[in-house]
Structures are given as structure tokens and as C-alpha cells.
Amino acid sequence: MIITIQKPFDKILEMTKGSDKLFLIGCGICATECQTGGETEVKAMVEKLKEAGKTVTGYSVIESVCDERRTRLEFKKNEEAMAKADALLIMSCGTAVQVATDLSKKMCVPGCDTEFIGMIERIGRFYERCRACGDCILFETGGICPIARCGKGMLNGPCGGQSKGKCEVGGWKKDCAWVLIYNRLKDLNKLDEFRHYRPPKDYSLIASAREVVYR
Amino acid sequence: MTTESFSELMKEIGEGRFVFTGEIEPVKTTNLHEVLETAKILKGHVVAANVTDNPTAFAYMNALVPSYMIQREVGLEAVYQMTVRDRNRLALTSDLLAAAALGIKNVLALSGDHTTVGDDPRAKPVYDLDSAQLVELVKKMVDQGVDLKGNKIIDPPKFQVGIAANPNADPLEPEILKIERKVNLGADFIQTQAVYDVELAKRFMDSVAYLRKPVLIGIAPFKSMAMMEWMVKFVPGILVPEEIQTRLRKAKERGGKEEVYKENLDIFGELVREIRKTTKAQGIHIMTIGFEWIVPKIIERSGIA
């Protein structure tokens, strides 16, 4: 899940300054799950914007804004209302903002901050679990990702900053990923995996905007 | 694995001598005076001194220049600390080449305290390599004359590479396995975080005995009571036994600063003597930022010349 949080309303007003007429876009998947840009949140935002003196020319909650095919269809359906708007307010992730930018001629404004790829424990409790590094090593780290969860992204941890299994980053409150990895591999009787040296990563693979193109 | 000795530090260790090393911390200044004065105090009492690399992620003077200067001006061998926090593999490689050109013989490979605990927490942490991978880089340069990618080096460097260890680590097992990884990569010596308890030193020495690498146990006397209280409160990774805390507090009540210094001499002289007597440690690394004058006195008090 792409975890998002809504930008403060003041920030939304600041970003849309000079754009009096807005069209809102929500997302039916991640932003709905996070309760930052689903049907309910988009409707609430419409009301708040009206109260603040904006004109809302319409809104649409698209099943997955990041899927250009769906978004193109929805934009077609809403062509008229969108044409009247000065800007589009996208209550979804950064990818959604850019898909909307590509498909419309409007200024597209992010209504949310995109936080990370993470898990949902419950609403209000989201945790990062993957950095999308493109070279998954979870098979040798007991299913726990040190790239996302170690403050230093170490491949050969733990560092000297752990104490009682907690990490120095953030003041020893979060778990040290490498102690978690050690405990899990020990339980699995696979400490050899822990012992072995992992050489430096190849960052040339993620040097610029990545593309997956295979047909 | 036998270690070829390029540095005085490793030569003395190789000869079976019990060694002392010190620590010098360049700060946020363009002036080398303090660094050189500190080196003069340590010279003759320690075989080498660490020069710290932006400790606790504070942006200070680059460690390489003072490392070079204490060797050139004072004749005190440097242990050039290098963290992987601020430089990627290219910058580390080029600094290692420059270090060798300037006659640096010892490198201590560290991950470095995280940027978020530093004096500008907004900085982007680099961590292109981790500390084990830095050991691999140094060893490849020295043993194979190439960088990490295998590119050839003209006149490859000769370094000893040390690694850090924390005997206070809880849990200790993953720490030991991490040290093992670095020893397998070819680390020459192990230097520890501050230890305040001889039993802790013993346990640690027992748990790394199978690695058969020289260990320098770190000690960090207290410059002031404030420093001790800070350490106890804010550095959860370091264990200061109640007994030491009480002794120092009582000394302070008894006679202020002077008594605290005297108590330090008693406590740490004793600790050094005990470590020497009861463990197979090859030496002591003394961290005394800002009161290096106490180093010769502690060594003297320990009875080890």
C-alpha cells in the first residue's frame, strides 16, 4: 500500500491560491484505505473548500488513479466539469498527481503527502516496510528488510547504535532491524544466513526513474 | 590469517606488547593548534591516536588533515577514523588514496553515528557502503591493488584496518557475528567502545577469542560529573556500574573537581590493570576528549609502562 497523509488545509489553500475553481480527484485504492482521498474524504474536502470561498466544479474518485487507462476514461467522462476548473486537486499519491498532469492540461496540485510503501496496522498506524530497491534480499534476512527498516540501510548489521534491540535513530524507540533479523534467523535455525557477508549494492540499477518494460 | 605490519601500532601488537592508544577530536575550526597540542601531550605515552571523523555526526574539520599533521609535526602515529555516513564509495576510495599518499598507516572503519543525532539532523545520510563493506574496500586496495569495482590502483596503499565493537551491546550475539564477518574480510584489529566493568571486558574477550584478532578495549574516563550523568542518561548503549557512579559522586561531594580527577585515576588505573591482568586484550584505547593530560597519569597509575 502507498501510505499517504493529507496536507494541512492551510497548505492546500496556499497551493491553490489564485485558482478559484477546483476539480477534485480521489483514489479508490490506497488513498481510500488510508482515509486520505476516498469518497468520504473527497466529499468532506469539497465542503471545506466551498466554505473557504472556492468553487468546486466537480469531483471524481477513480478506482486507481495510477492506472492511466482508468484515469483517461474518467477524465473523458468529466471533461466538461474539469474544463471549467483552474486546477485539479489530487487527493492521492505523487504518482497519481503525475498521471493527472500527463492526461490533463491543468495545473495539478497534490492534496496529500506520499509517505512510503507500508503496512496498515489500523487507521492511524502505518509502518514502512519496503524501499522498492529493485533487488529483494528478504530471502536471506529472515523476511525482514534492513534497507527499509535499518536507519543506516546496512546490509551487514547491526551497528553500534542499537541498545536492547532498539535503534539510535529517533531515540531508541524503534526496533533495530538487524536484531529482529538475528532473532528470526536464529528461530529458523538459519544463522548462517546472518553470518554471511553481503557486498555493496549496485545503485546503477536505480540511478534514474525506473521503467519496467517487457513487451 | 596473519597480518602484515605496516604501522607502528600493528608492529607493537605483533611483538606482543601491551599497547595504549589515544583519541584526538578536531572540532568546528580552521585552527590546528589544539589538535597538535593534544598530540604533544599523548606522544610518548600512546603508540597511536585515533583522529575522529565527525563524531556524533557533528560537522568538524576533516580527519585526514589532522591525521597527517600529528604524524608530520609531532611524530605521533594516526589511526584515521573513517565513517561511511558522509561519503559514498567514490569519495571513500579517493580519501583512502590521499591518506596513503600522506603516509597514514591505520584506518578505523566505522558506520558513524546517524545524521539525525548530529548538529544538522536535516543532512542526507549517505551509507552507500556499510562498515563491513568499507573493510572490504580497504582490503581490496591493500591486498589486490584495486578498488571495489576491480579498477587497478597505481602504487596501491598499505593500511592496517581496524573495526569497532561494542562489548556493552545487548543482545551481544549479533554484535559478535558482525565482528566475525569483518574479521573474515580481513580486519587487522578490534577497538571497542567504552567499557567500565572488567567483568564485561572479560565476557567480551571470551566471546571473540575464537576470532584470534588483537583487541584494544576502550575506556572513557569522565571529564566531569555532568559528562557521567549525561552518559548514564542519554547513552543507553554504555553501561556505567552503580559503584563507579557512587564513587565519583562521593568524590565530587568530598572535594569538587580535583577529587573527581583523583577518583578517575583510581577507577581507571585499576580498570586498566585488571583488564591487563585478567583478559587477553592487547591494549587499551583511551578516549579523553578535552582532558588528555589525564592519559599519562592513568597509564602510570595502572602500573603498566
pLDDT at B156: 98
- Which range is least confidently modeled, A59-68, B74-83, B296-305? B296-305
Exposure of B181 in the CB half-sphere (CA atoms within 13 A)? 29
Write out chain B residues lying below 8 Å of A165, CB-based: 170-171
Q: Given an 8 Å threshold on Cβ–Cβ distance, is A163 in contact with B125?
A: no
Model confidence over B5-16: pLDDT tens digits?
A: 999 999 999 999
| Segment A158-178 mean pLDDT | 96
Q: What percent of chain B has pLDDT over 70?
A: 99
A153 close contact with B: CB closer than 8 A: yes
Give tens-digit pLDDT for B214-248: 999 999 999 999 999 998 888 877 889 999 999 99
Q: Is the pLDDT at B2 greater than 60, yes or no?
A: no
Domain range holding B162? 8-223+272-302
> Where exactly does CATH 3.40.50.1860 map onto chain A?
2-115
How many helices (H) and strands (E) in chain B?
Answer: 10, 8
| For chain A, percent of residues with pLDDT exceeding 90 | 99
Asked whether residue B71 is assigned to any structural domain, the reply reads yes
Chain B environment of A191 (Cβ under 8 Å) = 177
Residue B235 lies in a domain: no
A11-23 average pLDDT score:
98
Question: Residue A58 pairs with which residues in a beta bridge?
Answer: A23
Q: How far is CA B208 from CA A199, B189, B197, in A?
A: 23, 12, 17
State whether residue A206 sits within 8 Å of chain B by CB: no
pLDDT greater than 90 at residue B266: yes
The enclosing domain of B31 has a CATH number of 3.20.20.220
**Domain tally, chain B:** 1
CATH numeric code, A2-115 = 3.40.50.1860
What mean pLDDT is predicted for residues B277-305?
A: 95
CA A48 remoteness from chain centre: 24
Q: Does B192 touch chain A (CB under 8 A)?
A: no
Residue in A154, A163, A196 closest to B130 by CB: A154
pLDDT at B237: 79
B60 within some domain = yes
CA separation for the pair A69, B209 (Å, rounded): 63
Say what percent of chain B tops pLDDT 90: 93
Say yes or no to pLDDT of B1 above 60.
no
Find chain B residues with C-beta within 8 A of A196's C-beta.
181
Q: Which residues of B touch A168 (CB under 8 A)?
A: 113-114, 117, 237
Identify which of A161, A195, A196 has the shortest CB distance to residue B113.
A161
Cell triple for residue B189? Answer: 584489529
pTM equals: 0.96
Does the pLDDT at position A50 exceed 80?
A: yes
Mean pLDDT over all residues of chain A?
A: 97
Q: What is the pLDDT of residue B236?
A: 79
pLDDT at B3 over 70: no
Size of interface A-B (CB pairs under 8 A): 96
Indicate the range of A35-39, A177-181, A211-215 predicted with least confidence: A211-215
Task: Report the C-alpha gap between B98 and B101 in whole angstroms.
Answer: 5
Confidence grade of residue A100 (pLDDT, cut at 50, 70, 90): very high
Backbone φ, ψ for residue B100 (5° rounding): -65, -40
pLDDT digits (tens, 9 = 90+) for A61-82: 999 999 999 999 999 999 999 9
Please indicate, yes or no, if residue B263 is contained in any of the structural domains: no
Between positions 154 and 173 of A, the ones with CB within 8 A of B are 154-166, 168-170, 172
Identify which of B111, B114, B174 has the shortest CB distance to residue A179.
B174
